[in-house]
Structure 1
Amino acid sequence: MRHRHHFHADHAGHSVTATVETGHTVLVEVLVDGKETGSVTGHGDGAIVVHVELPTDPPEQATVRVKPGPGDPSCLFETPDAEPRIMSPRAY
């Protein structure tokens, strides 16, 4: 059975949203300011890493690390200039 989980973080005036669809195959989609900037498919409970670029001047690299399970997934947002932080779950 597939389940969708949503996570959010704000960084440097930009909105970063991750959707994690769990099941036999795990699909992670990352949106920056409402535009899809990265997606990765994985299998099982291993960590999934999605690299994205924030539209700053100059563009800033960021990473969303997803732990799909066991249990509910979690997301960590990382940039080179800030401490990693847990992305807040959202109930859409």
Structure 2
Amino acid sequence: MRRRHHFHIDHAGHSVSATVRMGHGGAVEVLVDGKETGYAKLSGDRPVAVTVELPTDPPSQAVVHASPGPGEPHCALEVAGAEPKPMSPRSY
């Protein structure tokens, strides 16, 4: 059975959202300002890191760390020079 978990955070005036698809063919999709900018396949409960580019001036890189399990998945956004910030779960 497939299940989706959604996460969100606002950073530097930009919206960063992640969807963690569980089950067979699981994956993490990352959207920045509504555009898909990152994707990674899941392998069991192993955490994955998805590198994305934020459209700042100049553009900057960020990493979404997704941990699918065990238990409920969670995501965090890491930008250069700062500790990873947890992304809030969304119910949609």
Could you tell me which residue of structure 1 aligns to residue 53 of structure 2? 53
Query: Which segments of structure 1 move beyond 3 Å, counting only runs of 4 or more?
Result: none
Deviation at 1:81, TM superposition (A): 3.3
> What does residue range 1-92 of structure 1 map to in structure 2 within 5 Å?
1-92=1-92
Q: Cα RMSD (Å) of the superposition? A: 0.9
* Number of residue pairs matched by the alignment: 92
The secondary structure found in structure 1 opposite 2:46 is coil
Q: Distance in 2 between matches of 1:51 and 1:64?
A: 6
Higher-strand-fraction structure? 1
* Cα distance per residue 1:10-66 (max 9 Å; x no partner): 100000000000113321000000000010112100011100000001101000001
- Structure 1's unaligned 5+ residue stretches are none
Paired residue type of 1:15: S
What is the alpha-carbon distance in structure 1 between the residues aligned to residue 24 and residue 69 of structure 2? 11
Identity %: 64
Q: TM-score, normalised by structure 1?
A: 0.95
User: Unmatched 5+ residue regions in structure 2?
Assistant: none
Provide the TM-score with structure 2 as the length reference.
Answer: 0.95
2: CA distance, partners of 1:31 / 1:77: 12
- Alpha-carbon distance between aligned partners in 2 of 1:85 and 1:25, rounded to the nearest angstrom: 27
